[in-house]
Amino acid sequence: MPQVGTDLAGAAVTAALYAYLGLAALAANLPFMVERVLFVLRPASGRKAFGWRLLEFLLLYIVMGLLGRWLESRFGPVHVQKWPFYATTLALFAVAAFPGFVIRYLWRRPGQ
């Protein structure tokens, strides 16, 4: 016989997971959408260099990883991860950033 309340707990975990994935996709694209350095300072040249975008990308990857670890601790025991996990999640974060990269660097606007 199923326990009372397990469906609600499962729905909360599912909702948190989908919210986290959506936030991660947004975070991966933010460095390519925002022209401010570290989302605060205006660059002196008017355009943010690719190095700043890469640094922001890596910082947001770390922030999302810490948020994911915190969420995991809220729903159960935290599993120990080794380097293949982080390599894979970094690659998935880069794939999620591809639309922002394409719009910023590869998309041809009319008149350019």
Query: What's the CA gap between 53 and 36, in Å, rounded?
Result: 10
What's the pTM value of the predicted model, to 2 decimals? 0.86
As a whole number of angstroms, the distance between CA 62 and CA 86 comes to: 10
Structural domain including 95 reads 6-106
| 101 pLDDT more than 70 | yes
Q: Examine residue 23 and state whether it is found in any structural domain, yes or no.
A: yes
Q: Does the residue 43 lie in any domain?
A: yes
Q: Is 82 contained in some domain? A: yes
Q: Is the pLDDT of residue 106 over 60?
A: yes
Q: How far apart are CA 8 and CA 4, in angstroms?
A: 9
- Is residue 112 included in any domain, yes or no? no
Taking alpha carbons only, the member of 98, 32, 97, 23 closest to residue 63 is: 23
Domain count, the chain: 1
Q: 1 pLDDT exceeds 60?
A: no
Dump pLDDT digits (tens) for 43-99. 888 889 999 999 999 999 999 999 999 999 998 899 999 999 999 999 999 999 999
* Structural domain contains residue 32: yes
C-alpha 104/C-alpha 106 separation (Å) is 6
